[in-house]
Amino acid sequence: MLLLALSDAHIPDRATDLPVKFKKLLSVPDKISQVALLGNSTKSYDFLKFVNQISNNITIVRGEFDNGHLPSTKKDKASDNSRPMEEIPMNSIIRQGALKIGCCSGYTVVPKNDPLSLLALARQLDVDILLWGGTHNVEAYTLEGKFFVNPGSCTGAFNTDWPIVFDVEDSDEAVTSEVDKPTKENQSEDDDAKGGSTGTEQPGSYTPKEGTAGERENENESNVKPENQFKEDEVDMSDSDINGSNSPSFCLLDIQGNTCTLYIYLYVNGEVKVDKVVYEKE
Amino acid sequence: MAYADSPENAIAVIKQRTALMNRCLSQHKLMESLQHTSIMLTELRNPNLSPKKYYELYVIIFDSLTNLSTYLIENHPQNHHLADLYELVQYTGNVVPRLYLMITVGTSYLTFNEAPKKEILKDMIEMCRGVQNPIRGLFLRYYLSQRTKELLPEDDPSFNSQFIMNNFIEMNKLWVRLQHQGPLRERETRTRERKELQILVGSQLVRLSQIIDDNFQMYKQDILPTILEQVIQCRDLVSQEYLLDVICQVFADEFHLKTLDTLLQTTLHLNPDVSINKIVLTLVDRLNDYVTRQLEDDPNATSTNAYLDMDVFGTFWDYLTVLNHERPDLSLQQFIPLVESVIVLSLKWYPNNFDNLNKLFELVLQKTKDYGQKNISLESEHLFLVLLSFQNSKLQLTSSTTAPPNSPVTSKKHFIFQLISQCQAYKNILALQSISLQKKVVNEIIDILMDREVEEMADNDSESKLHPPGHSAYLVIEDKLQVQRLLSICEPLIISRSGPPANVASSDTNIDEVFFNRHDEEESWILDPIQEKLAHLIHWIMNTTSRKQTMKNKIQFSLEAQLEILLLIKSSFIKGGINVKYTFPAIITNFWKLMRKCRMIQEYLLKKRPDNKTLLSHYSNLLKQMFKFVSRCINDIFNSCNNSCTDLILKLNLQCAILADQLQLNEISYDFFSQAFTIFEESLSDSKTQLQALIYIAQSLQKTRSLYKEAYYDSLIVRCTLHGSKLLKKQDQCRAVYLCSHLWWATEISNIGEEEGITDNFYRDGKRVLECLQRSLRVADSIMDNEQSCELMVEILNRCLYYFIHGDESETHISIKYINGLIELIKTNLKSLKLEDNSASMITNSISDLHITGENNVKTSSNADDGSVITDKESNVAIGSDGTYIQLNTLNGSSTLIHGVVATASGSKLLHQLKYIPIHHFQRTCEYIESQREVDDRFKVIYV
Amino acid sequence: MSIFFKPPIDIEILFDNEESRKHVDIATRSSNSSYKSMKESLPVYEDGESLGGIVTLRVRDSKKVDHLGIKVSVIGSIDMLKSHGSGNSSSKKVTSSTSSSSSNGSVDVRKNSVDQFLCQSYDLCPAGELQHSQSFPFLFRDLSKRYESYKGKNVDVAYYVKVTVMRKSTDISKIKRFWVYLYNSVTTAPNTLSANETKATTNDIAGGNYAADNASDNTQTKSTQGEAGDVNQVLPISRSNNEPKPVRLDIGIENCLHIEFEYAKSQYSLKEVIVGRIYFLLTRLRIKHMELSLITRESSGLQTSNVMTDSTAIRYEIMDGSSVKGETIPIRLFLSGYDLTPNMSCNYFNVKNYLSLVIIDEDGRRYFKQSEITLYRTR
């Protein structure tokens, strides 16, 4: 039995879609029997449609940016007008084989992401496996005989948690790493470096400029102020740093009896990496 | 002479006569043979044959006559003289057989040089006039054309072309005349028959094109004017459409290029029902072929080649202008495809000239206005849709990005983007359309622009160097103006209302096939695919502008420029009114991203140029400004959506507070927190929402680090706890307060290098923690509902254990004594819970034995009513972190919530189970304590 | 009859160089219809040509035959159908009509001679006895022949040589027919008719005269026109100008059809080609096809009892389908391939030729327009 854990899609607020490679991986009908959405994944029609195609057995828990109630289709509404709107619960429990799986979005766990707090929650819910989200970082560990899984964000959406990158990178290191990378970026940086020596922006007196790059270049040349030479693209800012160092990821749980094999899918540099962890209930 | 009564018999007769003819020929009995031939040919007089059947007969007869002709040629002049025979066959009494024979003999004679070729040819074609019946005449003349194909005098192309043209003209007349034969009700049959016969007429033009070869002078001076005159004069719809098409197809495209004026002028004089656009499109196709060929010959010829000297577009443009002037009756259905054709042309010839397109769109605009925009019918709506979203298949726009550089084949998304940013008229036409159409079009356009799959593929490709460097698959946004134009195009979508759904449904089935509950309650949310798409568009624009550009397109937006674009987007999307709740979160996210970027730049500057104060303060100002913008955005949502999304606003404020805190902007952070509290106090009414919002505030505060200064933190956490203690429901108060205890107990944030046991400046105050827990316990104790009360106590016990593990008694103030006391209290309460329910169930045993012994304590609770067996450990009900009951559904393995009073039969059973929740929870907690004894000696003194 | 009374002498007449002479085939008109198709080949002579030959008399079974003299005569006569007996009741009984001995010299028995315009004879041999077969040459020098041979419906112009062995009992005679062509030496034909013809017939077709035109054969129509006997001249040589003027006819049915047709001229030699064209000014008629016919009209008898017979010598389709306004249809008809009769005229009969344009519409109605042309024989 395969259970798919997705979390923190944040579509469309913070991200547009899953990586195409993820979508291709997941677009296999009748393989996955249940999907758990661990928060912040209910605002996109397309996304929900996509998830629905994977399996129509979906468990949703509420993330901080989800609303209290599930959106439902018009057909449902027509067929049963009296039915109250389905509430999105804070927690949910799934029983598979000999295992009970709890689901929760991380935002009601205080302190956030704290293993002991999560353990207390797992105890309260009486579950063997606890799926949680909210951090956008994929995680899996065993504590006190219980298995804790955070599938991260399936879109690699922007995250407001403390980012890791705020240590200022060492300049020497930056230079060497640039030399090592024969990428397109590198070329452009070389080029920009040249441009930077002749004419640069002057942020202090920056006015919005329209027109082609050439014009701007000329304009800049006439305004050279050497002491203020600075071009923003000297700074190496990757999308992942800006978003909070998270890569798109999701988890697939293969549950057989009291054993759960966890597959972690991570999207790094355009490639999908898969890790495997096995948990067995004592 | 009579003909056979059925086509089958006719074929039989023809075959029989052919055999007889051949036998006589072999015996050199020419006269008899001609007699048979004549009888055979009589079958071609049959007026009752459909064109198809007639053609079948014709084909067989053609072969027979070929035999005859061969014989005639071989035996001239030994056994006969063809000149004599030419006269002889003219005694045939019926005109059709006579002429077939004449042509057969005459063309046989033409193979000999001695023959007076021109006289014979002239005579034959003249005599063909005797057959005025359209079908028979057409075939006869086709026969003449086929027979004379190789036999025209070689040295006189002018004569030959005259000969063929003469034949063509007569054939066309006959063909046109066919339309008017027979009763009126058979008109459609006639038209169908004519289409079956068109190839006979068209073949003459093909012959002409072969004769002319590359003699342009002759084409221009003699042939084309004659043909076109004929086309115009016949005033026949089918004929004009077909012939002009054939003309465009068969003659060299260079000829067309040089006679473009004439050709286009001709279309002005056609039957008003002729669909000019088809003809023009064919012409455009041919001209485009020409360009393609030129490019193939010399790929670098784009700019230098002579053909570009011609103002092809100008010619078409003049034509369109005149057409529009002279034919005001042309409907939009006719006019738009015409313009589309010219667009196709312009794209091919002048791929980068958007002025042309602008002109064309302006023309359509004018036409539409003249036509009366109110009268745009459904059909023309479709036309506009095709026009405006460039769905015309003839447009050589590829979605593929593998096109070679300099190729005139433009990527559709690049093209559309350029168009939007350069063609004002395009926008104006769009604005004339109905709202639903505008939405459709814009929707299409956005889809094309954001064709993400292509981009991602391109990403992968670029790694394998499939793309030449400098040719980006990405769109390049060059300036703010482009963004502005794009946004103004999108306006119909921005301001569109999602509800009531039925409204949208009728026009936009594609998008709105599924609808969603719409409740004006506080937390209602309708999924709106259109607004979702717009949110994507925001991300797309921002990603595009922030992307590192490639070498060739060296356009880099500075942070400030990006900010400006974002503000532009914001000011555009604010028009959406209530829709901002869909789109503004995306805008806010992009602000946040810019903030992080700004911070990175600051860090960099601090590292590399710590002394450049100007730069530093510039970015620091920028950062603060951005927070103001975000705050503004949040307020905009608040103002636009009334109270419908206060929860969202609260959380956005919190996120901002978190970010500000991370950026050490403590004042700003404090302000956002305050804002969050204000909203909590003033606008959040639903108790459930209040609880989770408060917990979230607590969680957020717990992770802050910059607020310790100025006692901001202190005031905020007190306020938070206070709110917790004032929640409506006691159980909510209890949970909120015990969770708030964490606010006085900071824990490590490893991302910023904190580590438990090493970092020594955590904000911790054990006394306060204990106070919170005590307060929470008091509330729990005061709850009347025993089960709830017990459950909360167990939860508090767990909280105590958390702190117990986390630190020494002296710091946390959570002592063994306290914990043991709590355990005792719980046990007592659980006992009373048991007593309370004594009569209804037989679980007394299990409760009396509630101490944890580690033995197998699976006990059966035999329910007297239904005898179902519930094991103690396998309860199907649990209580969630917010106090809701969760029932484990055995059917599909997932859980459902239990709401309010459980009234159903199965519910009473559930009700029965509820008391096990605290019992089992307590059991589990006890088990945990016991297990911890192995790793932590302190646990040994906790008695369970 | 002849079986029982076989004449004791066989008479054979042979013309000089007969085998090598030009012959024409003349259909014999027998009363027995089954022999209709039989043809008789006759040598052709022209006006003024001498006619000579040899008469051979063979005695049967070597018996002597007494005779009162042997006479040879050449006779040209106009014969007419008995039933339409001409006013000339005093016509001589043709002796040959009772002669039963000839095998190939038969004359239409139904017709009686009304005028023997040529009769020359002389004796080959005085009375005597024929003991054995004997030949006698004969010659009519520079024999003038007034009329061309003709074999028509009601009228024949016949020429023959007759040899008579006169006896006390019945004479024994034998005739041999020959054919006479009169050639017109003038190359251009006169144009006497076209002018007034055009005027008179312009609107003939008008008025929807679609009376069945099956007059082509065997239909006799009384004509009020009295033409017979006026012209004593067989040869239609014009005395007027030599220029061939085209014949133009403008005909039509009001608001329905309006055509203009044109022949190059109105007089044709029998070897010529009729060339012309038809121009359509208006066609609302749905024409199925259009034919050109050449009709030979024989009228015989004197004014009061004129008998006219038309026979269609040529039917020639010139257009298939319906033309439209502005179209021109070519006409070309070769005459030489047909056996046509040139125009002739004498007191007893005349032969005229007409070109008839026949339009058959899709409902089978026929519209026609005739115009006279003159045919003449040239060498």
Supply the DSSP string of B327-353, one letter for each residue: -TT--HHHHHHHHHHHHHHHHHHSTT-
For B923-935, write each residue's pLDDT tens digit. 999 999 989 888 8
Which residues of A, range 98-137, sit inside 8 Å of B by Cβ? 100, 104, 107-112, 114, 116-117, 120-121, 123-126
Q: By CA distance, what is C322's nearest residue in B?
A: B132
Q: Which of C271, C320, C332, C359 to mutate to test the interface with B (most CBs of B within 10 A)?
A: C320
- Spatial neighbors of C292 by CB under 8 A, at least 6 apart, are C274, C314, C315, C316, C317, C318, C331, C333, C355, C356, C357, C358
Q: pLDDT tens digits for A246-277?
A: 789 999 999 998 899 999 999 988 889 999 99
Chains contacting A (3+ CB pairs below 8 angstroms): B
Chain A residues with CB-CB distance to B612 below 8 A = 227-228, 230
In chain B, which residue's Cα lies nearest the Cα of C323? B132
Mean pLDDT (chain B, rounded): 82
In terms of pLDDT, which residue wins out, B887 or A110?
A110
Is the per-residue pLDDT at B429 higher than 80?
Answer: yes
Judging contacts by C-beta atoms under 8 Å, the chain B residues touching residue C334 are 87, 90-91
Residue B258 neighbours by CB under 8 Å, 6+ apart: B216, B220
Q: Do A16 and B555 touch (CB under 8 A)?
A: no
Dump strand ranges (E) for B177-313: none
B383 touches chain C (CB under 8 A): no
Does A44 lie in the same domain as A112?
Answer: yes
Chain B contact for C283, CB < 8 A? Answer: no
Measuring CA to CA, which residue among B77, B96, B79, B85 is closest to residue B38?
B96
Q: Which residues of A touch B604 (CB under 8 A)?
A: 168, 234-235
Whether the pLDDT of residue C87 is over 90: the answer is no
pLDDT (tens digit, 9 = 90+) per residue, C200-226? 333 344 333 333 333 333 333 333 333
Chain B residues near residue A113 by CB distance under 8 angstroms: none
For residues A80 and A211, membership in a common domain is answered with: no
CATH number at residue A38: 3.60.21.10
Q: Which residues does chain B have within 8 Å of residue A131's beta carbon, measured at their own beta carbons?
A: none
What would the DSSP string read from start to end of C22-88?
-EEEEE---SSGGGTT-EEEEEEEETT--EEEEEEEEEGGG--EEEEEEEEEEEEEEEEEGGG--S-
C151-169 pLDDT, tens digit each? 888 888 999 999 999 988 8
Cβ within 8 Å, pair C320-B130: yes
pLDDT at B307: 58
Pick from C277, C285, C289, C332 the residue to mutate for testing the B interface (most B CBs within 10 Å): C289
What is the distance in angstroms between the Cα of B869 and the nearest Cα belonging to chain A?
18
Q: How far is C349 from chain B (nearest CA, A)?
A: 31
pLDDT at residue A225, as a whole number: 42
A53 at B interface, C-beta within 8 A: no
For chain B, the 3-state helix, strand and coil shares in percent, each to the nearest 5, are 70, 5, 30
Interface of A with B in 237-276 (CB under 8 A): 237, 241-243, 270
Task: For each of the domains in chain C, give its residue range(s) and CATH number, in order of start.
Answer: 9-181 (2.60.40.640), 194-376 (2.60.40.640)
In this model, does residue B514 exceed pLDDT 60? no
Total residues belonging to chain C:
379
Residues A17 and A40 in one domain: yes
Kindly state whether residues A124 and A151 are assigned to the same domain: yes
What pLDDT is attached to residue A74? 44
In this structure, the answer to whether residues A248 and A216 fall within a common structural domain is no
Q: Would you list the domain boundaries of chain B?
A: 1-132, 303-475, 855-941
Average pLDDT for B234-248: 92
A17 and A126 assigned to the same domain: yes
* CB pair distance less than 8 Å for B134 and C330: no
- A111 with B699: Cβ contact below 8 A: yes
Please tell me the distance from the alpha carbon of residue B751 to that of residue C145, in angstroms, as a whole number.
145
CA distance B256 to B220: 10
Looking at residue B381, its pLDDT comes to: 76
Of C321, C327, C287, the closest CA to residue B138 belongs to: C321
Q: Are residues A16 and A36 in the same domain?
A: yes
**Peptide bond just before B405 cis, omega within 30 deg:** no
| Across B384-409, average pLDDT | 57
- Residue C128 predicted with pLDDT over 90: no
Question: What letter does residue A228 receive in the DSSP assignment?
Answer: G
Band of the pLDDT at B851, cuts 50, 70, 90? very low
Tens-digit pLDDT profile for residues C28-73 = 755 454 445 578 889 999 888 999 999 998 887 777 888 899 999 9
Question: Per the CB < 8 Å rule, is C320 touching B177?
Answer: no
Same domain, A153 and A177: no
Name the DSSP class of B222: I
Q: Percentage of residues in chain B with pLDDT exceeding 90?
A: 41
Among B90, B95, B177, beta carbon nearest to C320: B95
Give B505-509 contacts, CB < 8 A, sequence gap 24+.
B507/B436, B507/B439, B507/B440, B508/B436, B508/B439, B508/B440
What residue of A is the nearest CA neighbor of B468? A184
Nearest-angstrom CA–CA distance, B527 and B525: 6
Q: Which residue of C has its CA nearest to B1?
A: C317
Q: E strand or H helix at A255, and its extent? A: strand A249-256
Structural domain total, chain A? 2
Sheet strand arrangement including A99-105: A91-96, A99-105, A129-133, A146-151, A138-143
Q: Do chains A and C touch (3 or more CB pairs under 8 A)?
A: no
Chains with at least 3 CB pairs less than 8 angstroms from chain C: B
Compute the nearest-CA separation of C368 from chain B (Å): 18
Q: Are strands A58-60 and A34-37 parallel, antiparallel or unpaired?
A: parallel
Q: From A235, A250, A272, give the residue that closes a domain.
A: A235
* Residue B558 pLDDT grade (very low, low, confident, very high; cuts 50, 70, 90): confident
Instruction: Look at residue B112 in the predicted model and tell me its pLDDT.
Output: 93
Beta bridge partners of A99: A96
Pairing of the two strands A129-133 and A146-151: parallel
Q: Does A72 share its domain with A208?
A: no
Task: Measure A277 CA to nearest chain B CA, in Å.
Answer: 23
Average pLDDT, chain C: 76
C322/B contact by beta carbon, under 8 A: yes
Of C292, C287, C203, C194, the residue nearest C246 (C-alpha): C194
Question: In terms of domains, do A252 and A214 share one?
Answer: no
Q: Which CATH class is domain B1-132?
A: mainly alpha
> What pLDDT score was predicted for residue B897?
67
Question: Would you say residue B162 has pLDDT above 90?
Answer: yes
What's the average model confidence in pLDDT over B514-528?
Answer: 50
Residues of C whose CB is below 8 A from B182: none
Number of residue pairs across B and C with CB atoms under 8 Å? 56
Residue A219 in contact with partner chain B when CB distance is under 8 A = no
Structure tokens at B903: 């009234």
Facing residue for C316 by CB, picked from B47, B93, B129: B93
**B182's tokens:** 């027979």
From the CA of A153, how many Å to the nearest CA of chain B?
16
The shortest CB-CB distance from B90 to any of C287, C321, C334 is to: C334
Contact B553 A87 (CB under 8 A): no
CA distance C44 to C62: 35
Q: Is C284 on the interface with B (CB under 8 A)?
A: no
For residues A116 and A73, membership in a common domain is answered with yes
- What is the value of ipTM here, to two decimals? 0.66
pLDDT (0 to 100) of residue B399: 43
- pLDDT under 70: residue ranges of chain A: 71-85, 164-229, 233, 245
Beta partners for residue A101, in sequence order: A94, A129
Partner residues linked to C67 by β-bridges: C128
Q: Say yes or no: B177 contacts chain C, CB-CB below 8 A.
A: yes
Lowest-confidence pick of B19-23, B711-715, B876-880: B876-880
Task: Say whether C316 and B96 touch across the interface (CB within 8 A).
Answer: no
Please give the C-alpha separations between residue B911 and each of B807, B905, C4, C123, in angstroms, as whole numbers: 39, 10, 150, 163
Q: Which of B463, B518, B552, B589 to mutate to test the interface with A (most CBs of A within 10 A)?
A: B589
Which segment of A148-157, B135-144, B801-810 scores lowest on mean pLDDT?
B801-810
- Name the residue with higher pLDDT: A192 or C84: C84
The pLDDT value given to residue B419: 82
The answer to whether the Cβ–Cβ distance between C320 and B94 falls below 8 Å is: yes
Instruction: Indicate if A90 and A196 belong to the same structural domain.
Output: no
The partner residue sitting opposite B514, judged by closest CB among A44, A73, A230, is A73
In chain C, which residues have their Cβ closer than 8 Å to the Cβ of B45?
Answer: 320
d(CA C344, CA B252) in angstroms, rounded, equals: 66
Rounded average pLDDT over B21-30: 93
Report d(CA B543, CA B314) in Å as an integer. 39
Residues 6+ apart with CB under 8 A from B76: B82, B108, B109, B112
Q: B894–A85: do the CB atoms touch at under 8 Å?
A: no
Range of the domain at A143: 2-163+241-280
B177 → chain C, closest CA residue: C324
Q: Which of B47, B126, B177 sits opposite C330 (nearest CB)?
A: B126
Instruction: With a cut of 90, say whether residue C228 has pLDDT above it.
Output: no
Nearest CA-CA distance, residue A177 and chain B, Å: 16
The whole-number average pLDDT for the span B469-483 is 67
